[in-house]
A = this chain, B = another copy of it.
Amino acid sequence: MSRAPQQRRIATHARLLDSAREIVAASSYAEMRVEEVVLRAGVAKGTFFSHFKDKDALLVVLIGEELERVMSDLVVAPPPEDIESLVAALAPLVAAMGSERTVFDIVVRNSGAMAIEEIGPIAQNFGDQIALFVRWIAPLQGTAFRSDADPALLGEGIQAFLVQCIAMNFCLVESQMALEERLLSYLTPWLSAPQA
């Protein structure tokens, strides 16, 4: 049975997060150095690693926050009513996850649960995405969308194609436009019922 953390620890934790946020805002995730974070926070290096398992754990928190912000906008937006508007609605999510290689790598590596019960903020967010997609899809099954598959399964598929398209975008150095086109070309057969 461990005690509750002292105020000092909570304050230090907050300072570390704030420092990291500032650095990322001023440069990028890729350029963030643990050494600079602790310098700015006014603590020793060892302190950092007593607060975060490793550098990635900090990135997971920060990126989780960003995804959270995007999702909170999406849940209050009007639901898309066909595949084209669905692709358009996904744009902010694509922009967030594909903003940097570093971000995408972290997202992919942490998109699933880390361990039973030990679910991280990014995995949590991915779960929220599925829930939102289901809310979007289910009412339109039989009309705009196919009805021969579980909506949760369809939602997971959207995620798979989302990831695939962003990954492709990092390799092929093409425009954002191409990404949305490609996403549309995948989601059309995925979400609409197969024609004879």
Q: Does the CB pair B189–A153 fall under 8 Å?
A: yes
Q: Which A residues, 69 to 125, have Cβ-Cβ distances below 8 Å to chain B?
A: 105, 108-109, 111-116, 123
Question: Among A112, A159, A161, which residue has the most Cβ atoms of chain B within 10 A?
Answer: A112
Q: Mark A139-174, 1 if CB is under 8 A from B, else 0.
A: 000000011110001101101110110011011110
Which secondary structure dominates chain A's binding surface? helix
Closest Cβ–Cβ distance, residue A130 to chain B (whole Å): 12
Q: State whether the Cβ of A30 lies closer than 8 Å to any Cβ in chain B.
A: no
Q: State whether the Cβ of A26 lies closer than 8 Å to any Cβ in chain B.
A: no
Q: A153-B185, A157-B189, A160-B164 are in contact. List 18 more A-B contacts (CB 8 A).
A: A105-B109, A108-B108, A108-B167, A111-B167, A112-B172, A113-B172, A116-B173, A146-B189, A146-B195, A148-B195, A148-B196, A153-B189, A156-B164, A157-B161, A160-B161, A160-B163, A192-B194, A193-B194
Residues of A within 8 A of B (CB): 105, 108-109, 111-116, 123, 146-149, 153-154, 156-157, 159-161, 163-164, 167-168, 170-173, 185-186, 189-190, 192-196
Residues of chain B with a CB closer than 8 A to A109's CB: 105
Q: Does the CB pair B163–A164 fall under 8 Å?
A: yes
Contact among B112, B153, B171, B190 for A111, CB-based, below 8 A: B171
8 closest A-B pairs by beta carbon, nearest first, are A112-B171, A160-B164, A148-B195, A146-B194, A149-B189, A194-B194, A160-B160, A113-B171
Question: Among A148, A149, A160, which residue has the most Cβ atoms of chain B within 10 A?
Answer: A160
